[in-house]
Chain A
Amino acid sequence: MATIFEKELTDLKGTVLKLGSMVEKAISDSIKSLVERNSKLGADVIDKDPQVNALDVEIDEECIRLIALRQPRAGDLRLITTAMKITTDLERIGDLAVDVSERALELNEEPQLKPYIDIPRMAEIAQGMVRDALDAFVKRDSALARDVIARDDMVDNLNWQVFNELLFFMIQDPKTVSRAVKITYVSKYIERIADHATNIAEMVVYLVEGKIIRHMTVPDDKKKN
């Protein structure tokens, strides 16, 4: 029989997931808005951001309430603190989706510089990372969380690839600079989304194993940045 507290924890996980799905949709819509040159989609993402922010606050308040009233311990304590930190990352991801949408709206006003190939690939990986990190959170699956962390390098590499390609455009023709810089921004936003997904996955490892693994090792390709 589930206690009241257990039900509250289940509800909390549900609310975090709801925020996660809102944010995932914001990522995919913001990218679609760019790739399909559909400014309506991007404008929707911007309009819906206050909902993401409201849910962020709601989750924080619920976590604080549970800490004050239930005095959680051990696994329960780790679940609540993890939910609080994950929520901050999700809200930041929502902001980045807004940033992508804003650049998309601007870029959609100008002729397309080049077909978008790597950007949708990056976005797909980053979105998959967010989804799997949340899946790992709900299932308390630290193996899946570690898999998410490993995928961050792919996104970092694609970001460099996009940057170098756009650099080539800019050198060839200064008229492309304004658009190329905006696409570079988009690429960087997606790279940041993957970083936040990595943070979430690291918190899941803490949730499951009680070990804080962030800042433990710096992969070689990150040292270069």
Chain B
Amino acid sequence: MVKELKAEVKRLNFYYGSVQALKEINLPIERRKVTALIGPSGCGKTTFLRCFNRMHDLYPHNRYEGEITLYPDNINIISPEIDPIEIRMQISMVFQKPNPFPKSIYENVAYGLRVRGVSKRAVLDEKVEKSLRGAALWDEVKDRLNHLAFDLSGGQQQRLCIARALATDPRILLFDEPTSALDPTATSKIEELIIQLKNEVTIIIVTHNMQQAARVSDYTAFMYIGEIVEHDKTDKIFTAPSNRLTEEYITGRFG
């Protein structure tokens, strides 16, 4: 079976001012699969993830080179001609710590749609419910949609952030260590959710928890000092990696 790609990274370089943080990155992102980025702190995982929705544009002197092609449109995400705001609607990010807006549960989820100019109540209601269901939160919050998002537990807040990200029908969901602030029960809920979500959306996840990468991802890329050392099917990486550096990292013998 031919793999269907959702995105393809080609010779990506990224610079924070004069410091090169990513070097010649090539990576296919298969459609409706989970790709995990692993590697030691400072290797460039998060920097790489943030390229996908142009988060680096928020600061001056940051510079991209190369291409991240989004399929089937065939557009280069990091091209200056592409509007980063629209890209962030299509490629949403879920962060390390849940960061709901100081608004109601309902308004958190509806936010992206309102930015897009959707104001019909019926449309918003439908989307909010669908997104909350998609994030496995609906049953827990359906009777208190107008409560403040901060009333929710940490795990619920994180699922709310996932619902918020889903509301704009993103093509790619980015997760930056989505469970590092959560307890094991909440973590396992988020992991189950990630596995379910890939039926509808392509996912890239950065994680420090290697077992999490092993549990949720189809592909794993090991990064080291701004480069991708090895990229393969997750089961291959965790049973018999090809590269010695990958082996040392995932068996905890690094350095």
Contacts and interface: CB of A to CB of B under 8 A. Distances in A.
Interface of A: 3, 5-6, 71-78, 209-211
A74 B252 contact: no
B167 to A, nearest CB: 36
The main secondary structure of chain A at its interface with chain B is: helix
B251 A71 contact: no
B247 interface: yes
Interface string B183-214: 00000000000000000000000000011001
Contact of B252 (A3, A77, A209): A3
Contact of B250 (A3, A6, A73): A73
Nearest to B250: A73
Closest 3 CB pairs of A and B: A210-B240, A73-B250, A74-B247
B211 A74 contact: no
B238 A73 contact: yes
Contact of A75 (B210, B211, B237, B251): B251
Between A5, A72, A74, the greatest number of chain B beta carbons within 10 A of the residue's beta carbon is seen for: A74
B247 A71 contact: no
B241 interface: yes
Contact of B240 (A5, A72, A78): A78
Interface string B141-154: 00000000000000
B239 interface: yes
30 contacts: A3-B252, A3-B253, A5-B252, A6-B253, A72-B251, A73-B210, A73-B214, A73-B238, A73-B239, A73-B251, A74-B237, A74-B238, A74-B239, A74-B240, A74-B241, A74-B246, A74-B247, A74-B250, A74-B251, A75-B247, A75-B251, A76-B251, A77-B238, A77-B239, A78-B239, A78-B240, A209-B240, A210-B239, A210-B240, A211-B240
Contacts of A73: 210, 214, 238-239, 250-251
A78 B241 CA distance: 11
B250 A71 contact: no
Contacts of A211: 240
A42 B58 CA distance: 81
User: Which one of A71, A75, A76 has the highest number of Cβ atoms from chain B below 10 Å of its Cβ?
Assistant: A75
Contacts of B241: 74
Contacts of B239: 73-74, 77-78, 210
A210 B244 CA distance: 13
Nearest to A208: B240
Contacts of A78: 239-240
A145 to B, nearest CB: 16
A77 B252 CA distance: 12
A205 B246 CA distance: 20
Nearest to A2: B253
Nearest to B247: A74
A71 B213 CA distance: 13
Contacts of B247: 74-75
Contacts of A6: 253
A5 B251 CA distance: 10
Given A74-B241, A74-B246, 7 more contacts: A71-B211, A72-B251, A73-B238, A74-B237, A74-B247, A77-B238, A78-B240
Question: Quick one: which of B210, B238, B240, B241 has the most chain A CB within 10 A?
Answer: B240
Nearest to B237: A74
A10 to B, nearest CB: 14
Contacts of B251: 72-76
Nearest to B211: A71
Contacts of A77: 238-239
A78 B237 CA distance: 12
Nearest to B236: A210
B154 to A, nearest CB: 24
A211 B240 CA distance: 9
A202 B105 CA distance: 58
Nearest to A210: B240
Interface centre among B211, B238, B251, B253 (most CB of A within 10 A): B251
